[in-house]
Amino acid sequence: MLLTKRQKTQLSKIVLQVEKLLKQSEAAEKRQQKKAKASKTAKGQGRRKRVKRSRVEAAEMRKAIIAARKKGAKVAELAKKYGVSTAYIYMIK
């Protein structure tokens, strides 16, 4: 079975569209992999979910931090324990 000239051009257009779709899907897969890799590294860097504390809980936490700092506790350890930044701990007086 031989194809006419018109059928050949239509077939070549279809092939071009399929190639274009394949390139797009490959690019989308690469983006997803890159995104997944970035989220894994962000999780590993200590990103925490924000903790909402009541006024009383926050006051107790500040008192505990001040007492621990007077005893010589390390700021990094306190920050990790209470889920706050080191800058916040230095700010507390």
- DSSP of 19-56: HHHHHHHHHHHHHHHHHHHHHHHHHHTT--------HH
> Each residue's pLDDT tens digit in the chain (93 positions)?
788 999 999 999 999 999 999 999 999 999 998 888 877 665 555 556 778 899 999 999 999 999 999 999 999 999 999 989 999 999 997
Neighbouring C-beta atoms of residue 25, cutoff 10 Å: 10
pLDDT at 22: 96
pLDDT at 28: 93
Neighbouring C-beta atoms of residue 53, cutoff 10 Å: 13
pTM comes to: 0.49
Domain ranges of the chain: 55-91
